Amino acid sequence: MTSSIIRANNLTKSYQTNSISTLAIKNISINVNEGEFIAIMGPSGCGKSTLLNILGMLDSPTTGEYYFMEKNVTNLTESGRSAIRKGNIAFVFQSFNLIDDLTVYENVELPLMYMKKPEKERKSMVNEILEKTQLIDLKQRFPYQISGGQQQRVAIARAVVFEPKIIFADEPTGNLDYKSSQNIMKILSDLNQGGKTIILVTHEEAFASYCHRIINILDGNVVVKK
């Protein structure tokens, strides 16, 4: 039986600047089951990234309820959210955020070192994900020695090497040419077919077509579900 990994009820996020309050998202409710591949779409400034940050527990809602793996995480402190993110949640962003003076292998290995995995286990896990993302021949190169598309594949490998429950991808193809973007979407699709739950923010209909379901947002509201 498929179980829910995300259950969000009437999420609202407002930002206060001086005497002005701005609603970024308004009463959004979303359920995500394990193994789903979901696209969140909408124009710039509509609230996509705000929603992703709340679902990924980088931020908390102003009002509403949020359950992650059936645990109510709505009012957790930053340290509480961080504890749940660790080992469960991975992020892939438009910017690759690689460390320039570390090799491809070392960049991918980094989260495993933070998790204090033994060296032999780290080596096995890193080499396995480098094989899956077709980076094994580049593992001793530095980020500046490889293409943008290859750097994004390194970012994905680093994000998933520790076997997270869910991947949040915020415009992961935004800085890439079309061919490289297709390669990234193919990798994400393969990860999903292998059981990973993925939530993707994108502007591109062609890339959203890889997903099982599309959630469209306009002015902070869900307007269409396909």
- Other Cβ atoms less than 10 A from the Cβ of 69: the count is 15
* b (16+ CB within 10 A) / e for 126-151: beebbebbebeebbeebbeebeebbb
The pLDDT, as a whole number, for residue 23 is 87
The pLDDT, as a whole number, for residue 2 is 65
DSSP label of 137: G
Tens digit of pLDDT for each residue in 166-181? Answer: 999 999 998 899 899 9
Q: Where are the domains of the chain?
A: 35-60+77-225
DSSP label of 126: H
Tokens of residue 206, six digits: 């062609």
The pLDDT, as a whole number, for residue 32 is 96
Q: Fold for domain 35-60+77-225? A: Rossmann fold (3.40.50)
DSSP string, 38-66: EEEE--TTSSHHHHHHHHTTSS--SEEEE
Residues 170 and 49: their CA atoms lie apart, in Å, by: 7
pTM of the predicted protein model: 0.90
